[in-house]
Amino acid sequence: MRITTVQTSLSWENSQENRQQLQVKLAQAEASDLVVLPEMFTTGFSMRAEDLFEEEQGETLAWMKAQAKGLDAVLIGSFIVREDGKYFNRLYWVEPNGQFDFYDKRHLFRMAEEDKTYSAGANRLIKEWKGWKICPVVCYDLRFPVWLRNTAKQEGLAYDLLICVANWPAARRDAWNTLLKARAIENLSYVVGVNRIGEDGQGIAYAGDSQVIGPKGELIYEGKSREELITTEINMEQLTEFRAKFPAYLDADQFRLE
C-alpha cells in the first residue's frame, strides 16, 4: 500500500484558496493508493461553523471526488459539514469512482469549545481498500485508546491501518509523537498521522510531525516543520508475519464500549 501524506499550511477560514493550493500540491503527488489531507483542510481549526459550513454534498466533497478520480486513489480529510441543523467535523473517505463514506469526529476538543460548536459522532468507520482494513479518525480521538482499540474478530483484527488527520498544536507535539507510537504498538497496526504546519488565525502554531509508524512502534517516516508531500509504502506481508509471531491481541482484556 502506497500512502501519500500531505503536510501543509492552511489559509485561515478560506475554503476556496485552500482547495486551489491543495490541488496544485496534489498534482505533484507520486502514484499512490491513499492520499491523506489534514483535519479541517479547507478552513483550519475554526469554531465559526455557522459561517463556514458546507451541506452534506457540497463544493468540497465534489472537489474531493474530482481529485480522487484524477489521482486514482482514495482521498481522505475532514471539513465542516451541516446536517439536520447540526455541525460536524466530518472526515470523508472518497474513492476514485466517486463512492464515499464518512466519519464524524467522536471526541470534541472541549479546551477550544469544539464540543459547544459541533456534534460528536457515534460510529467508528473501518473501510477496506486493496486488501487493507483502514480506520480513519480525527485529531483529539488519538488520546482515547478504548475508542481506537483494535478488537479481535473471527477473521482477524478489526483494522490493519489507523489514520489520524489533525490540527495538533506545536505546544503539545510531544503528546502527538508519543500517542501515535503507542496506538501502533498496542494495536499491532500501522499508524499514519497527518498534521498541518504554520500558524492559524488565532496565533496557534503547528509543527507538522506527520509520520508513518510500523506495528512494532518503528518510525518509517517523520515529517519536518515544513510543507511536505511524501509517499511511503507499507507492507501487509510484514504486518501479518509480525502478528503471527507476536499475537499480543489474544491476551487483550475484554470490554464493552458505552
Q: How is the chain split into domains, by residue range?
A: 2-251
Provide the whole-model pTM: 0.97
Give the residue numbers annotated as catalytic, written as ranges: 39, 105, 139
Q: Which CATH number fits domain 2-251: 3.40.50.1370, 3.30.2350.10, 3.60.110.10, 3.20.20.70?
A: 3.60.110.10
Give the list of residues 6+ apart from residue 67 with CB closer than 8 angstroms, or none: 22, 23, 26, 35, 75, 94
Give the list of residues 6+ apart from residue 230 with CB closer than 8 angstroms, or none: 4, 5, 7, 210, 221, 223
- Return the half-sphere exposure (C-beta side, CA atoms, 13 A cut-off) of residue 178: 6
pLDDT of residue 57: 87
pLDDT band at 144 (very low <50, low <70, confident <90, very high): very high
Task: Check whether 255 has a pLDDT greater than 70.
Answer: yes
Give, in order, the Cα–Cα distances in Å from 84 to each of 17, 50, 55, 105.
27, 13, 10, 17
Instruction: Express each pLDDT in 19-55 by its tens digit.
Output: 999 999 999 999 999 999 999 999 999 999 999 999 9
pLDDT band at 154 (very low <50, low <70, confident <90, very high): low
Instruction: Express each pLDDT in 78-127 by its tens digit.
Output: 999 999 999 999 999 999 999 999 999 999 999 999 999 999 999 999 99
Residue 200 φ/ψ, nearest 5 degrees? -90, -175
